[in-house]
Structure 1
Amino acid sequence: MSETKIYWESSAGHLLEETRQTLNEYLLSLKLADKAVATIEKYRRIIEAFFQQCTIPLEEITSDDVLTWLTTMSEGKKPRTIDLYLSAVSSFFSFCLEEEYMEITVVKKRWRPKIPHSLPKYLDEFEYARVKVSAEQLSIRNRALLLFLFSTGCRVSEVASLHVQDIDFNKRKMDVTGKGRKIRQIYFSEECGLVLQDYLERRSAKPSDPLFMNKFGNGLQVQGIRKVLKKVGGEAGLVQSFHPHMCRHTFATNMLARGADLQFIADVLGHADLNITRIYAQIPTEEMLLTYQNIMG
C-alpha cells in the first residue's frame, strides 16, 4: 500500500481531538517499529471501533468500559478474532500508560480467550507427489514458482518482492526481506535453480525485473500467486485448499523429517521466536508413523 494514504493516521470523525492525537502518536510508533502495514491498519480500525462505543476521554476510561465493549464486539466471533481485538486495545492502552496519557491499567490478562490448538496444514508425501507430478504440465513460470515455494519456504509476500538481481545461481542462494524488514539468506534446490534459470532465459529477464512476472509484464503479486496455487491444487485433486503458506509448512515438515534441527529451520523460515517453530515438532512425520506401524502393527 502506498504511504500517501497515510495508513498510520486516523481520520475517524467520531474521535475526540485529544484521543485522535494520542492514537496517531501510537500508530506512528508502530510504523517506526517496522510493524506490517496490515497490522497497523487492523489495530487502527479496532481502536477506532472501541472509541465509537466508548466516547469518553482517555483518562476517564475504566476496565468496565473496556470489558463492556469487548463483550459486545465478541458476540458471534471466534476466539482468535476476540484475541486480536484484545491485543489491539491492550497495546494501545499500554502505550498510553507509558506516555502518561492514562494512570491505570484497564485491560486484564484473564480476559484472554483460550485459543484452540491447531497444527499447520501441510502436504503429506502422497499429496506432495501428486502436486509435483501435476506441476510437470504447468507453464514454465508456474512450475518455477511452485518449485521455488517448496524449495525455500518463503512467505508469499517475500516471493512477490524479489527481483532477478537478488539471485546467486552459482551458490543457489538469495537474500530476502522478511517481517520487520529483516534480511535473511535462503537457498533453493538444484531442480528449482534449473527451472528458474530456464524461465528467466525464455523471457530475457533483466536484473532489475521482478523474479516472477504476470502476462502484462508486471511483478506477480500476492493474489496472483494465490490464484496459481489454487488452480494447481484443483488440478492435482487435493481435497484441502492449496495456498502458499501450505508450501512453507510442507517445506518445514520435510526439513524436520530429514533431520534438520529446529533452530536451523527457524533461521531459514525467519522466525524470531523459536516457539513458533516448535509446533512443527508436534507433527508426526512419515518416518515416525512408519516406525510406529512396524512396532505396533
Structure 2
Amino acid sequence: MTPERQIDDWLGRLASERQASPHTVSGYRRDLAKLLRFMQDNQVASFDALDANRMRTFVATEHRGSKGREGLAPKSLQRLLSSCRSLFRQLTREGQLSHDPMLGVRGPKVRRKLPQVLDVDEASALVETDSGGKLAVRDRAMLELFYSSGLRLSELVGLHWLDLDLDGGEVRVLGKGSKTRIVPVGRHAVTALRALGAEEGMVAESAVFRGRGGAPINPRTIQLRMKTLALQQGIPKHIHPHLLRHTFASHMLESSGDLRAVQELLGHADIATTQIYTHLDFQHLSKVYDAAHPRAKSKP
C-alpha cells in the first residue's frame, strides 16, 4: 500500500471511528502532506524506509525552510511531529509498519506562553456591556455564558435550547472528541439566557445563538462582535472567545485552588493542559505577596 493510501485510510478512520472533527482531520492532512513531499524529494518510497536519522533531517528541513518557503516555528514543528507520531504509532500497532521512525526524534523546545486573561473588573465590564439595539440581549447572553461556563467557541455555537437546564443552572456541552460534559451556568448567565429565550423563543431543537435563517451563528460573527464590544468598553487587550475561557479558568482556580475540578469544567482530557493556569495563579499570588509582605517591598 502506498504512503498516500495509508494516510487516507488512517484519516478516514479518525473521522468515522473516533469522530475526529473536520478541522482536526484537515490539520493532520496538511502536516502529513509535508512528510509526503519530503519523501518524494528524497526518493523514499515507503514509511518502512524511514528511520530516526531521516526524520531528524525532515525536522531540520521544515525548520530551515527552502527557497520560496518559510521555515516552521517551533510550535508548528511540534504539531507536525505529533501528527507523524500518531500515524506511525497506529501503523505499527496494526502491523503495517515494522518500526516507529519517530523513536528518539525530538523537535525544538517551545517556549510556553502564558495565556492572557482579563482581571475581574475587565471581565465584568465586558460581559455587562449594553451594546444597544436588537443585538443587545443576544450579546449579553453570549458573553455571560462564555465567562460563566468556560465554553469553547465551537461549543457555544453548537448549543441548542434542549442542552440547557436553566432551572438547574446547568448546560450539557458536546466538546472535543464528541465527549459530553455537564457544566454549571451562573445566575447572571441564566438571567441573560432567559431574556434571550423570551425574545427569540426556546424551541428545544433550535440553536441558542442563531444567525440568518435560524441557523447557528457563524463563529466569525462572534469573534468580530466581541472585538467591537471590547473597543466600546475601552479594554486595551486583544479580545476573543478563548480569552474568556482562559479568564474563566484562571478565576476559578484562583478562587477554589482545585485543579482537578477546573480540568473537568474545561473538558481537558489531560490535566497537564490545565496546569498552565497554575502558573497564572502563581503570578497573582506573587503580586499580592510583593504588595503586602513587609520583607518583599523594595527599599526606598
Structure 1 regions of 5+ residues with no counterpart?
Answer: 1-16
Q: Compute the displacement of 1:79 (Å).
A: 0.6
1:125 to 120, 123, 135: 120
SS at match of 2:2: helix
Retained in 2: the 8 A contact 1:173–1:185?
Answer: yes
For the structure 1 residues 290 and 136, does the alpha-carbon distance in structure 2 shift closer, same or farther, using more than 3 Å as the test?
A: farther
Q: Compute the displacement of 1:120 (Å).
A: 1.8
2:58 to 38, 63, 69: 69
Aligned length: 280
Q: Compute the displacement of 1:131 (Å).
A: 1.8
- Of 271-280 and 88-97, more deviation after overlay is shown by 88-97
Query: Cα deviations across residues 9-48 of structure 1 (Å, max 9, x unaligned)?
Result: xxxxxxxx62232222221332222333222211112212
For the structure 1 residues 285 and 259, does the alpha-carbon distance in structure 2 shift closer, same or farther, using more than 3 Å as the test?
A: farther
With the length of structure 1 as denominator, give the TM-score of the two structures.
0.86
SS at match of 1:184: strand
1:145 to 142, 145, 158: 142
Q: 2:109 and 2:77 mapped to 1: Cα distance?
A: 10
SS at match of 1:121: coil
Aligned to 2:157: 160
Aligned to 1:175: 172
Q: Compute the displacement of 1:269 (Å).
A: 0.9
Aligned to 1:18: 2
Query: Cα deviations across residues 175-234 of structure 1 (Å, max 9, x unaligned)?
Result: 111111111101111111111111111123322110111244321132222122121222
For the structure 1 residues 232 and 26, does the alpha-carbon distance in structure 2 shift closer, same or farther, using more than 3 Å as the test?
A: same
Retained in 1: the 8 A contact 2:31–2:83?
Answer: yes
2:87 to 82, 88, 92: 92
Aligned to 1:8: none
Retained in 1: the 8 A contact 2:19–2:177?
Answer: yes
Retained in 2: the 8 A contact 1:153–1:269?
Answer: yes
Q: 2:158 and 2:51 mapped to 1: Cα distance?
A: 44
Query: Cα deviations across residues 56-96 of structure 1 (Å, max 9, x unaligned)?
Result: 32132333433333222222321100111111122222223
Aligned to 1:232: 229
Q: Compute the displacement of 1:152 (Å).
A: 0.5
Retained in 1: the 8 A contact 2:56–2:105?
Answer: no
SS at match of 1:186: strand
SS at match of 1:142: helix
- Of 142-151 and 49-58, more deviation after overlay is shown by 49-58
Structure 2 regions of 5+ residues with no counterpart?
Answer: 65-70
Aligned to 2:111: 116
Pairing of 1:1-297 with structure 2 (within 5 A): 18-31=2-15, 32-55=17-40, 56-58=44-46, 59-75=48-64, 76-133=71-128, 135-138=129-132, 139-283=136-280, 284=282, 286=284, 289-295=287-293, 296-297=296-297
SS at match of 2:159: coil
AA at the equivalent of 1:88 = S
Query: Cα deviations across residues 105-147 of structure 1 (Å, max 9, x unaligned)?
Result: 32243422101021122102342243245x1235110111001
Aligned to 2:67: none
For the structure 1 residues 106 and 208, does the alpha-carbon distance in structure 2 shift closer, same or farther, using more than 3 Å as the test?
A: same
Retained in 2: the 8 A contact 1:173–1:186?
Answer: yes
Retained in 1: the 8 A contact 2:262–2:274?
Answer: yes
Q: 1:101 and 1:249 mapped to 2: Cα distance?
A: 41
Q: 1:156 and 1:267 mapped to 2: Cα distance?
A: 17
Q: Compute the displacement of 1:172 (Å).
A: 1.1
AA at the equivalent of 2:74 = P
Q: Compute the displacement of 1:170 (Å).
A: 0.9
Retained in 1: the 8 A contact 2:131–2:139?
Answer: no
SS at match of 2:14: helix
Aligned to 2:68: none
- Of 269-278 and 243-252, more deviation after overlay is shown by 269-278
> How large is the RMSD of aligned CA atoms in angstroms?
2.0
For the structure 1 residues 60 and 256, does the alpha-carbon distance in structure 2 shift closer, same or farther, using more than 3 Å as the test?
A: closer
With the length of structure 2 as denominator, give the TM-score of the two structures.
0.86
Retained in 2: the 8 A contact 1:54–1:65?
Answer: no
